[in-house]
Structure 1
Amino acid sequence: MLTAGSTTRTAAATNAAGALPRKKTASGTAYHEAGSGEPLVLIHGVGMRLEAWAPQIAFLSAGHRVIAVDMPGHGESAKLPAGSRLEEFVAWFGRFLDEMAIDTANVAGHSMGALVSGGAAATFGERISRVAYLNGVYRRDPEAKAAVLARAAAIPMSGVDKEGPLARWFGDDADSVTARELTRKWLNLVDPQGYAVAYAAFAGGDETYADGWKDVAGPALFLTGSDDPNSTPLMATQMAELAPRGYARIVEGHRHMVNLTAPDIVNSLLAEWLSFGEDER
């Protein structure tokens, strides 16, 4: 496991996570682009927006063309229809790559974005060079599945739950204070309908592409925090064992929003992942 003390946390990158400039594709997907080189596409989770990747954009754009997207119904991106499943989010991502004229890409996703990136890796073949699956779920146990489905069912009646995610995603440590408040801000900004559609797809998507890891040929990083109660270390190691070039990295003492609470560690692990296979090209 990697501990937060093994590197100096870039608090400045997290603190500077203000609004980033966006462009839009013809179909209405908003994105921010920085740097040049081999493409790296970043997909955030439910309730978030592309600014959630601010520390990774700042660090990784030094050597890559980094493209962070607003997921459908989040940030400034157009919504998907009500009832859209994970497959529709993966299809949306394929259309985005087409609109951006990206033939091959590295893809990193967080939480719901991890499910989308995993679905893309399982179905798009060699178009996805590498996949990084951050704090992503895999075959929830019956208790966890019942809980997430219940939360999804409650959204149309109770709206966006802001306090529940904060309690699950963060501890009370000093590293989490800034990230928690940024996350609270983003949850307050999210479109309720876009949130509901994405959360329903997230709740029902943990097994959709679960059998696909054996066919993912490129380097596959499975990363989570040791204290993430939902996207657990066990899930990460199980997926890593299935992918031919899969490996797990667990950040000790962190929970769900590890890319914000331990950005230096995550940046280092993503840079390592991006370097795998370079001698083969």
Structure 2
Amino acid sequence: MTSTTLRRSEIAGLATTRTGTGRPVLLLHGVGLRAEAWQKQFDALAGCGQVIAPDMPGHGLSPCPTGEMALADYTAAMRGVLEELPGRALVIGHSMGAMIALSLASAAPEKVCGVAALNAVFERSPAAAKAVQARAADLDGKTVPDPAATLQRWFGDDLSPERSACRTWLQEVDPAGYKQAYTAFARADAPTRASLTAIKCPARFITGSLEPNSTPEMSRAMADLTPGGRAIIIKGAAHMMPLTHPEAVNAALRALAQEAPA
């Protein structure tokens, strides 16, 4: 696996990759990453529609906003992408991208036909909230932080090509954009129980059995609250399962695409 940069076009002011044709399938990456984090999904999901993966504001080739950002600001940016796409989209998010995807599904049902939340956090414990907020506070927004601790949380001791690719992306991220996004992620209390019960489209909550932060218990709890929700736990997977366990992830996403109305 390599960290080759894919060709971009522009949608709603964001650098975006596209492949395939048909119904939009919108892929939203997490903090510190970029559209290439979905590279093992592009071909696998192309049969489900036009796969569209934007770089989050301040990530990849998308410009960095000025000032502080909240989760609502990132959600608004991605809603801008949705508004430029025809019809309703299947929206798939990973980590912070999952927060955004769920926000879109509850707030913009007219633009979302199905949603998948991969490695999504839900109702962090006080200790977990304190830890992630402390990590955000340590960022100065001027220097790229050492990715070692992040990679350890994501991969443990696994020295894989996927780990190397993530190291490259984390080392290349705009430090200001990274601080903005990580701070928004750390401060967000999302999804809420009310927002989950408002989701009316088919929904999947997918995480790994070895995920220490976005735990299986969190995915099951979110699925129980969502009318069309279902939890899927991928055995042996941790945080970066779209890269490390693409076969299982892609099978779950293709099944959701078949269930979601066009």
Distance in 2 of aligned mates of 1:63 and 1:106:
9
Q: Does 1:203 align with 2:189?
A: no
Q: Normalized against structure 1, the TM-score is what?
A: 0.88
* Gaps in structure 2 of 5+ consecutive residues: none
Question: Structure 1 residues 206 and 164 mapped into 2: Cα distance closer, same or farther (>3 Å)?
Answer: farther
Q: Which residue of 1 aligns with 2:79?
A: 94
Q: Which residue of 1 aligns with 2:26?
A: 41
Q: Does 1:125 align with 2:122?
A: no
Distance in 2 of aligned mates of 1:104 and 1:49:
23
Distance in 1 of aligned mates of 2:208 and 2:146:
22
Q: Which residue of 2 aligns with 1:191?
A: 174
Distance in 2 of aligned mates of 1:252 and 1:208:
24
Q: Does 1:149 align with 2:117?
A: no
Q: Does 1:223 align with 2:224?
A: no
Question: Structure 1 residues 270 and 47 mapped into 2: Cα distance closer, same or farther (>3 Å)?
Answer: same
* Secondary structure of 1:155 counterpart: coil
CA-atom RMSD, angstroms? Answer: 1.6
Distance in 1 of aligned mates of 2:242 and 2:64:
25
Equivalences for 1:20-39 in 2 at 5 Å?
A: 20-25=6-11, 27-39=12-24
Task: Indicate which of 236, 252, 258 corresponds to 1:253.
Answer: 236
For structure 1, which segment, 208-217 or 34-43, has the greater mean C-alpha deviation from structure 2 after superposition? 208-217
* Gaps in structure 1 of 5+ consecutive residues: 1-14
Q: Does 1:273 align with 2:259?
A: no
Deviation at 1:41, TM superposition (A): 0.3
Equivalenced residue count is: 261
Distance in 1 of aligned mates of 2:99 and 2:191:
9
Deviation at 1:16, TM superposition (A): 5.0
Distance in 1 of aligned mates of 2:137 and 2:144:
10
- Percentage identity across aligned positions? 41
* Secondary structure of 1:52 counterpart: helix
Question: Structure 1 residues 262 and 101 mapped into 2: Cα distance closer, same or farther (>3 Å)?
Answer: closer
Question: Structure 1 residues 234 and 31 mapped into 2: Cα distance closer, same or farther (>3 Å)?
Answer: same
Deviations 1:233-275 (A, max 9, x none): 1110000000001000011111100010001111111001111
Question: Structure 1 residues 277 and 101 mapped into 2: Cα distance closer, same or farther (>3 Å)?
Answer: closer
* Secondary structure of 1:179 counterpart: helix
Distance in 1 of aligned mates of 2:85 and 2:48:
20
Moved over 4 A (4+): none
Letter matched to residue 135 of structure 1: N
